[in-house]
Amino acid sequence: MGYTTEFSGQINLSRKLTFSEAKEWIILADGYDSIAVEKATGIYAYLQWVPTENLDAIVWNGHGKFYNYVELLEWLCGKWLKERGIVANGKLYYSGEETEDSGRITVTDNIVERHPSTIENIIQGKPLTTQRLAEMALEAITNNKDTYRLADDISAKQEGT
């Protein structure tokens, strides 16, 4: 159970991570220990932003439910990377289970911004079918006899003139 959000794209780093930096980061992410992540970040969640195999970008690890993803990216870029003199820039696209839960996340010089999609829910009526039109006409005739008598009277007068 839970809510699924998926991500694509990457955040590029101004330099490659050292093996020591990558180890420190990946131990925190691979541990699936939300208590350890909270202790390090102040955010109770699993860290699913990980370095790429080339050690030059940030991507989503593709695992399970990912909560507080913006806050964790803000911590990662605004604190962890910044403390190491690394500048992050790039775009990620996200899509949740709900249609309106999509958009992009941009990182510019370690500043993270979320840009929800501008897709609006458009209200659309139900298409009319021949069968439904016949049902509606029958309902109108049986429920509103006076309305149809008036319409018949108007038609008869128009034909007589």
pLDDT digit string (tens) for 51-103? 999 999 999 999 878 899 999 999 999 999 999 999 999 999 999 888 778 99
Cα end-to-end distance, the chain, whole Å: 71
pTM for this structure?
0.71
Residue 108, number of CB atoms within 10 A of its CB? 13
Q: Average pLDDT of 117-143?
A: 72
**Cβ contact 114:105 at 8 Å:** yes
Q: What's residue 113's pLDDT?
A: 97
Q: What's residue 156's pLDDT?
A: 62
Q: What's residue 159's pLDDT?
A: 66
Q: What's residue 31's pLDDT?
A: 75
Tokens of 68: 């507080």
